[in-house]
Amino acid sequence: MSSSFVERFASKLESIAEVEVGGEILARFDRYYRILVDWNERMNLTAITEVEAVYWKHFFDSAMLLTVPQFNRQTSLLDVGAGAGFPSVPVHILCPELRVTVLDSLQKRISFLKELAGELQLANFSAFHGRAEDFGQDPKWRESYDQVTARALARLPILLELCLPFVKVGGYFFAMKGPDGEAEASESEKALQILGGKIEDILKFDLKEIEGTRTVVVVRKVSPTPETYPRKAGTPSKKPLL
């Protein structure tokens, strides 16, 4: 890895995230990269493995969440379908005070995330194996997070059913999307109305390092989600609220 690449990454991160990106933070990203490519040889975690691509398209892309004005760095964040830890692990590296929980339906990915959290000494971090449809009906999880996020999990109408049940009324769901964020938002009116959400903002980013447009759809939870949602596992994607 050339030092100019790391310097550019650090200075861009500082400018978008308004965090001082010192040696300790960079050492954590370096360790994250190494553990990710090592585990990726044994299990499918990411198709992107080249170092600069991982830094920009996974780490930097995840950190975009920190540019959202509604995002609070001091409260709680649940990452649904976190996979190899995106976006929550890069966000947590930059904001260690945030209480982060990750949920994924694949046990192997949760084993990876637990090992990663130990290696990176992430405090305030816990990982759980399960499906959003099941956990969303559990009273311990339901409407108990200030903030929920998801990246590359499903189209927005489906995603809202998987994620909004976890958000406290008054809290936020941040959907990390590609170029289709706006179009997906316009398909989501019915889901928002049923599930108790309201789109407050759609933020758009065009960054040459990431090679493409990214959007963050900011959804405020304005009323409780009716008990029937989320429906049983598989139904939200088979019969989306359209």
Ligand X SMILES: C[S@@+](CC[C@H](N)C(=O)[O-])C[C@H]1O[C@@H](n2cnc3c(N)ncnc32)[C@H](O)[C@@H]1O
Cα atoms in the Cβ-side hemisphere of radius 13 Å centred on 52: 12
Candidates 91-99, 117-125, 148-156, 192-200: pick the segment binding ligand X (CB under 6 A): 148-156
- Choose between 64 and 80: whose C-beta lies nearer to ligand X: 80
Beta carbon nearer to ligand X, 22 or 150: 150
Q: Is 109 in the site for ligand X (CB under 6 A)?
A: yes
> Exactly one of 104, 146, 161, 184 binds ligand X (CB under 6 A); which one?
104
Binding of residue 112 to ligand X (CB under 6 A):
no
Task: Name which of 218, 216, 237 is nearest 154 in CA terms.
Answer: 237
Distance CA 190, CA 183 (A): 14
132 binds ligand X (CB under 6 A): yes
Indicate whether 106 belongs to the interface with ligand X (CB under 6 A): yes
Q: Which of 123, 152, 169, 242 binds ligand X (CB under 6 A)?
A: 152
133 in a known ligand binding site: yes
Region of residue 225 (phi > 0: left; psi between -120 and 50: alpha; otherwise: beta):
beta
Note whether 163 binds ligand X by CB under 6 A: no
Identify whether the C-beta of residue 114 lies closer than 8 Å to the C-beta of residue 127: yes
CA distance 8 to 14: 10
Q: Which of residues 57-96 bind ligand X (CB under 6 A)?
A: 80-84, 86
Which helix (H) or strand (E) element contains residue 198? strand 197-207
Could you say whether residue 171 binds ligand X (CB under 6 A)? Answer: no
Q: Report which DSSP code applies to 224.
A: P
Q: What whole-number distance in Å separates Cα of residue 213 and Cα of residue 219?
A: 19
Q: Counting beta carbons within 10 angstroms of the beta carbon of residue 113, is it exposed (0 to 12), middle (13 to 18) or buried (19 or more)?
A: buried
Select 104 or 146, whichever has its Cβ closest to ligand X: 104
Rounded-to-integer distance, Cα 26 and Cα 7, Å? 10
Segment near ligand X (CB under 6 A); pick from 13-21, 22-30, 32-40, 103-111: 103-111
Q: Which is nearer to ligand X, 51 or 106 (CB)?
A: 106
| Residues at the site binding ligand X, with contacts judged by CB under 6 A | 80-84, 86, 103-106, 109, 131-133, 151-153, 162
Residues placed in the known binding site for S-adenosyl-L-methionine:
81, 86, 132-133, 151
